């Protein structure tokens, strides 16, 4: 009896010790494992963002053995990922996703390479904070507060610094500009800015010099944005300037080229079936009749847009022109759109450049579906093909313009001559 009792106690003790050992082993493995996954997530974050502050966090985390230092889980979206897929992958509550989606501005899209980050409640698995990083400085932030997700757009602002970039032409402008660290968008912008005087894709010469003033925004040692503020291009001792002012480029006298009219009244260019011709043999009447516009061959129903801002002075139908719309613009210009299938604007209506005014057709005296388009200046017909669609526009406040650009101009010249 006594022996049986001893054996029982011994066996019980043995199992208790065994359970304790298993438990200890489990505990010792549990935390380091969690630690590793979180460090990995942090490293991913650093890869995409090269963010110094995150590095600091990583170091703190490594020294912290309870594994609770960072409750945020970070994930970089892959091609084909949707938020739905990510939620399923991580077993996150879909109900929360739907609530978050309700608050996400409609124009915001997610794309591969983008970083998302979330924090869950320790009691239940509810997502209490959700972040979508659009870039290093713009974050969509959703925080669970008072039983709903509160949306905030967080924009981190950096410090603005001016930087002068200098280069000279070896072969072409693009290559030389890339060498100085400018990107393709900025190079295109500079080309546009100087187009009033020089075509940088054609007219450059070896050893021409250029100076670009860049404004860079720096956040935590990273350049988060950079924009072209001014350009000086020198060829044969001639200096060409462009200054950004009110978000547009102007020359040093404060002028800019402005597209008054669209190049043609359709989205894409259609084949010209008949040019402007004051002495044309009319295809229907066989008499010499001036062709006072351009005919563009296009299928009936093609969308027709006003080439400029203006007021509709005629919108009606007659037996020659079919459905016709006339629009009056500033500077004594009138544009006319003939043979339309459908007119969408009414007489007296104000229209914007590019606004849809009707659909092309084959109405009136016409040999096939086309748009007959005319431009008149002071009631005289011009060849729409040759009318300069550009006008010069000067800044409204020249004093202010000079006050702002003169110091930059001197600095650009100084940089150029500093060798």
Residue with tokens 């960072």: 70
* CB of 372 vs Zn ion, minimal distance in Å: 3
Cβ proximity to Zn ion, 219 vs 272, nearer residue: 272
Cβ proximity to Zn ion, 177 vs 325, nearer residue: 325
Cβ proximity to Zn ion, 165 vs 338, nearer residue: 338
Q: Which of 144, 333, 372, 375 binds Zn ion (CB under 5 A)?
A: 372
Q: Which two tokens stand for residue 182?
A: 């400018």
Cβ proximity to Zn ion, 222 vs 289, nearer residue: 289
Residue 271: which of 239, 292, 296 has the closest Cα? 296
Give the binding range for Zn ion (CB under 5 A) out of 176-184, 194-202, 290-298, 311-319.
290-298
Give the binding range for Zn ion (CB under 5 A) out of 94-102, 151-159, 340-348, 372-380.
372-380
DSSP SS3 for 151 = strand
| Site membership for Zn ion, residue 295 (CB under 5 A) | yes
Decide: 108 and 132 in contact? Cβ < 8 Å: yes
Cβ proximity to Zn ion, 131 vs 326, nearer residue: 326
Give the binding range for Zn ion (CB under 5 A) out of 16-24, 358-366, 371-379, 398-406.
371-379
Instruction: Determine whether 80 is exposed, middle or buried from the number of CB atoms within 10 Å of its CB (0-12, 13-18, 19+).
Output: exposed
* CB of 361 vs Zn ion, minimal distance in Å: 13
Sign of CA dihedral 259, 265, 270, 275: negative
* CB of 273 vs Zn ion, minimal distance in Å: 8
Q: Scan residues 109-138 and list those touching Zn ion (CB under 5 A).
A: none
Q: What is the C-alpha separation between 419 and 411, in angstroms, rounded? A: 13
Q: What is the C-alpha separation between 303 and 73, in angstroms, rounded? A: 50
**How many residues at the interface with Zn ion, by CB under 5 A?**
2
Cβ proximity to Zn ion, 167 vs 384, nearer residue: 384
Q: What is the C-alpha separation between 264 and 261, in angstroms, rounded? A: 8
Instruction: Determine whether 324 is exposed, middle or buried from the number of CB atoms within 10 Å of its CB (0-12, 13-18, 19+).
Output: buried
Cβ proximity to Zn ion, 178 vs 365, nearer residue: 365
Crossing angle for the helix pair 2-49 and 52-63, to the nearest 10 degrees: 170
Residue 149: which of 86, 105, 90, 89 has the closest Cα? 105
* CB of 338 vs Zn ion, minimal distance in Å: 7
| Site membership for Zn ion, residue 208 (CB under 5 A) | no
* CB of 370 vs Zn ion, minimal distance in Å: 7
Nearest residue relative to Zn ion (C-beta) = 372
Residue with tokens 């590095």: 55
Kindly list the residues in this chain that would bind Zn ion in the complex (CB under 5 A). Answer: 295, 372
């Amino acid at each position: 009896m006594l022996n049986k009792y001893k054996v029982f106690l011994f066996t019980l003790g043995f199992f208790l010790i065994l359970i304790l050992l298993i438990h200890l082993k489990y505990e010792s493995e549990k935390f380091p494992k969690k630690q590793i996954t979180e460090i990995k997530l942090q490293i991913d974050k650093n890869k995409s963002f090269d963010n110094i502050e995150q590095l600091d966090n990583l170091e703190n985390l490594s020294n912290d053995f309870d594994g609770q230092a960072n409750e945020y889980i970070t994930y970089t979206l892959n091609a084909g990922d949707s938020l739905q897929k990510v939620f399923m992958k991580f077993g996150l509550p879909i109900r929360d996703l739907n609530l978050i989606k309700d608050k996400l501005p409609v124009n915001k899209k997610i794309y591969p390479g983008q970083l998302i980050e979330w924090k869950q409640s320790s009691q239940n698995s509810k997502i209490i904070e959700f972040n979508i990083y659009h870039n290093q400085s713009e974050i969509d932030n959703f925080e669970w507060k008072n039983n709903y997700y509160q949306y905030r757009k967080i924009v981190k602002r950096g410090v603005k610094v001016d930087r002068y970039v200098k280069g000279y032409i070896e072969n072409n402008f693009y290559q030389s500009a890339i060498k100085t660290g400018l990107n393709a968008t900025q190079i295109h912008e500079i080309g546009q800015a100087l187009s009033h005087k020089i075509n940088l894709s054609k007219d450059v010469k070896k050893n021409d010099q250029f100076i670009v003033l860049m404004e860079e925004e720096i956040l935590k040692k990273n350049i988060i944005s950079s924009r072209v503020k001014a350009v000086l291009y020198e060829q044969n001792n001639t200096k060409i300037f462009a200054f950004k002012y009110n978000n547009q480029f102007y020359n040093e006298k404060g002028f800019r080229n402005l597209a008054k009219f669209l190049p043609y009244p359709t989205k894409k260019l259609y084949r010209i079936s008949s040019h402007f011709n004051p002495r044309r043999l009319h295809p229907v009447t066989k008499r010499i009749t001036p062709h006072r516009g351009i005919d563009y061959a296009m299928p009936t129903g093609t969308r027709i847009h006003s080439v400029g801002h203006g007021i509709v002075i005629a919108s009606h139908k007659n037996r020659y022109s079919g459905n016709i719309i006339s629009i009056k613009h500033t500077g004594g210009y009138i544009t006319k759109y003939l043979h339309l299938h459908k007119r969408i604007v009414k007489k007296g209506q104000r229209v914007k450049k590019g606004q849809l005014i009707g659909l092309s057709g084959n109405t009136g005296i016409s040999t096939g579906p086309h748009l007959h388009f005319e431009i008149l200046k002071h009631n005289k017909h011009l060849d729409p093909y040759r009318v300069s669609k550009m006008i010069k526009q000067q800044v409204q406040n020249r004093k202010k313009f000079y006050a702002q650009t003169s110091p930059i101009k001197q600095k650009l010249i100084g940089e150029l001559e500093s060798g």
